[in-house]
Amino acid sequence: MNTTKCGTGAFSVLMSSYKETEAWKEASAAEDRGFRPTKGNGGRRKAPFYKVMQGMPIAVDAFRYGTIPGVTAYFLTHAHSDHYTNLSANWRSGPIYCSEGTANLIVHMLCVDRQWVCPLPMDVPTLVPDTGGVCVTLIEANHCPGSCLFLFEGPQTVHAGDSAFRSPFVGATRTFRYLHCGDFRASPQHVLHPAIRGKHIDHVYLDTTYLDPKYCFPPQPQVISACAELARRIVRGETLHDSEDIAKARQNRTMDSWLVTSGKSPEKDTKPGKILVVVGTYSIGKERIVKAIARALQTKVYCDSRKAAILRCQADPELHDLLTKDPLEGGVHLVPLGVIASDRLKDYVERFKGHYIKAVGFRPTGWTFSAPTGSDMVPSVSTIIARTQGRTFTHAHLSPMRNSTAALQVYGVPYSEHSSFFELTCFALSLDWGRMIATVNVGSEKSRNKMGTWIERWEVERKKRAKGEMVQHRAQNYW
Ligand SMILES: [Zn+2]
C-alpha cells in the first residue's frame, strides 16, 4: 500500500491518502473469512479495489468474486490456485485472457470450457475487445511456467467493480498505464522490456509476498547452479564442503536397513545412477531446479502421471524430453513439497529399496530462508543493494537439514519464484512509476503500513536517481 501523506506526485492526484485508507478498509471487509453468500449480499463477495483496474472494465486474478459489475474482461496471471480461486467448469462470467501455457493448464486442471479461454501472444500489444480501447502486453513473469505480467494501456472509460471509490479520470482523454505483476520474480529484463523501458507506469500492482528486508535471498540463478553442482558431486562421490555434516549424519543410520552397502561406505560409491535425487515441487513451478539437476546428472525425470500431464501442458520441449514413466530410469524424482518436508519422504524412498544406495532430497522454498544472523533489519536502501550484490551462492552454502541421515540427506534450498526484498527494491528503483499497490499480505493494517513505509522509501530513493537510471545489474536475469 502507498501511504504517502504529503500530497506530492501523481499519487495525491489519483487518490488522497484518506480515500486510499477507506478503500483498504473496504477491501479488508470484503475479504472477511466468515463471509457466507446470501440474497442480502448479492450471493458473492465484493471485489476489493485492487482487483479491478482503475477506470477500466478489467479484473485480474479475481475469479472468486464471480460476475463483477461492469467487468467485461477477466485476466489470469498464472495457474496457481490462490490466483484462480473459484474458477471451474461452471465459469460463465466472461472471457478469460491469459498466456497460452496458462490456458492449457486451466482447461486441463479445472475443466474450464474452452469457449471462455482466450490465450494471448507474449510481448506484443493486443487490443482487448469490449474495453473501450485498452491494449495489453503480456510479459514473462519469471515465476512459474505460463506466468506473465500484464501491461494495460488505455483510457479510463468506466466505473467498474464494487469499490465505492470513483476515479475522477473516467472520460478523460489521457492514456493510463498499469502494470499488473501477478506473482513474479523481478529481474532487469522486466525493466528493459521494450513495452516498459522509458515509459511512465501510473499504477504498479506489486507481488509483495516478500516485501520485508528479512527476505533477501541469494541470487536464484546461482542457487539453481548450486543445487546442480551439489547433486553432481554427491553422485560422483566428490568432496563436499559439508563433510562434517555428513559425518554427523552417518552416525544416525536409521535408514541403513535398505542400503545396498556391500561393505562400502555409501558416500564412496561413485556409480552414477545409484543415488536417487528427490525434488519437492508444487503442481507447477520450480521446474528450473529440476531441469538443472537432471542435466548435471545426465538422467531422466520421473513423476506420477498426474504431475506428468500437468508438465506436458507447458510449452517446454526440454522438460518433455526429460520425462520418463519408469521410476528406475529417472535419477531425479518429483514429489509434492509436503512430502519432502515430512516422514513421508522415507516411505517414498523405501519403495525403491535395493535400486539406489541412498537418496538426496531438495526442498526449495523461500520460507526456509533466514537472514544471516546479525543482519540489520532496518537497513537503508543503499545498504540493502550493496550488501546483497556482494553475496554469491555456491553448493558449499547448502547443508543437510537436521533430520538427515547417511542414507537420506535433505537439503533446504533458499529458492523462490517470487521477488526477494532486494529484487523488489531494485525493480522499484529502476522503474518510473506513480503508485505502487501491494497485492499480497494486505489483510492487516499493520502489514500494509509496514509495506507502505518501504514503498515510500523506494519513492524517495528513486527520485534521487537520474531519469531512467537502473540499479546496476550483475546479469540480464538478476540484479
Ligand atoms: Zn504463483
Contact 157, 57 (CB under 8 A): yes
Residue 60 Cα to ligand 1 midpoint, Å, equals: 13
**CA 257 to ligand 1 center in whole angstroms:** 40
Q: What pairing do the DSSP bridges indicate for beta strands 135-140 and 126-127?
A: antiparallel
Distance 78 CA to ligand 1 centre (A): 7
Q: From the CA of 305, how far away is ligand 1's center (Å)? A: 22
Query: Which pLDDT value is given to residue 470?
Result: 94
Residue 147 CA to ligand 1 center (angstroms) comes to 8
Short-list 370, 479, 372, CA closest to 428:
479
- Do residues 435 and 280 lie in contact, with contact meaning Cβ atoms separated by under 8 Å? no
For 382, the grid coordinates are: 543503499
| DSSP per-residue codes, 148-214 | EEEEEEE------SS-S---TTTT-SSPEEEEE-SS----HHHHHSTTTTTPEEEEEEE--TT-STT
Distance 367 CA to ligand 1 centre (A): 14
Residue 5 CA to ligand 1 center (angstroms) comes to 32
Pair 206, 149: CB distance under 8 Å: no
Phi, psi of 200 (to 5 degrees): -90, 130
Helices and strands, counts by H and E, the chain: 15, 16
Q: Which amino acid, one-letter code, is at 400? A: P
Q: Go through 250-275 and write b for each residue having 16 or more CB atoms within 10 A of its CB, e for each that does not.
A: eeeeebeebbeeeeeebbebeeeebb
- Rounded to the nearest whole angstrom, what is the distance from the C-alpha of residue 107 to the centroid of ligand 1? 18
Q: Which three cell numbers stand for residue 379?
A: 537497513
Handedness of CA 79, 82, 83, 84 (dihedral sign): positive
pLDDT at 390: 86
- Predicted confidence at residue 42, as pLDDT, reads 78
Q: CA end-to-end span of the chain, whole Å? A: 24
Tell me the CA–centroid distance for residue 420 and ligand 1, in Å.
Answer: 14
pLDDT digits (tens, 9 = 90+) for 391-446: 899 999 998 988 888 889 999 999 999 999 999 999 999 999 999 999 999 988 89
| 15 Cα–ligand 1 center, Å | 29
For residue 174 the three cell numbers come to: 489521457
d(CA 79, ligand 1 centre) in Å: 7
Separation CA 244–CA 462 (nearest Å) = 46
Centre of ligand 1 to C-alpha 207, Å, is 9
CA 362 to centroid of ligand 1, rounded, Å = 20
Task: Please work out, in degrees rounded to the nearest 5, the angle formed at the alpha carbon of residue 299 by the alpha carbons of 323 and 361.
Answer: 90
CA of 271 to the centre of ligand 1 (A): 38
Q: How far apart are the CA of 230 and the centre of ligand 1, in A? A: 27
Distance 77 CA to ligand 1 centre (A): 9
Give all domains of the chain, ordered by start, each with its CATH number: 9-214+420-464 (3.60.15.10), 220-413 (3.40.50.12650)
Q: Give residue 407 CA to ligand 1 midpoint distance, Å.
A: 33
Distance 75 CA to ligand 1 centre (A): 14
The CA distance from 104 to 85, in Å, is 17
> What is the rounded CA–CA span in Å between residue 83 and residue 99?
14
How far is it, in rounded angstroms, from Cα 302 to Cα 286?
Answer: 15
d(CA 391, CA 137): 34
**Separation CA 92–CA 102 (nearest Å):** 18
Q: What is the pLDDT of residue 241?
A: 57
Distance 337 CA to ligand 1 centre (A): 15
**Span from the CA of 210 to the centroid of ligand 1 (angstroms):** 13
Q: What is the pLDDT of residue 3?
A: 38
| pLDDT per residue as tens digits for the range 206-230 | 999 999 988 888 899 999 999 999 9
How far apart are the CA of 81 and the centre of ligand 1, in A? 8
pTM: 0.88
d(CA 421, ligand 1 centre) in Å: 16
d(CA 469, CA 466): 5
Alpha-carbon distance of 257 to 276, in angstroms, equals 16
- CA 144–ligand 1 middle distance (angstroms): 7
Compute the distance from residue 82 Cα to the ligand 1 centre, in Å: 8
Which residue ranges in the chain fall short of pLDDT 70?
A: 1-17, 240-273, 367-377
Q: Long-range contacts of range 400-404, CB-CB < 8 Å, 24 or more positions apart?
A: 400/242, 400/245, 400/246, 400/249, 401/363, 404/245, 404/249, 404/252
C-alpha grid cell for residue 368? 526456509
Mapped onto helix, strand or coil, the DSSP state of residue 82 is helix
* C-alpha of residue 105 to centroid of ligand 1, in Å: 13
Listed in sequence order, the residues at least 6 apart from 439 whose beta carbon sits closer than 8 Å to its beta carbon are 50, 181, 205, 206, 207, 208
SS3 281: strand
* Distance from Cα 33 to the centre of ligand 1, integer Å: 21
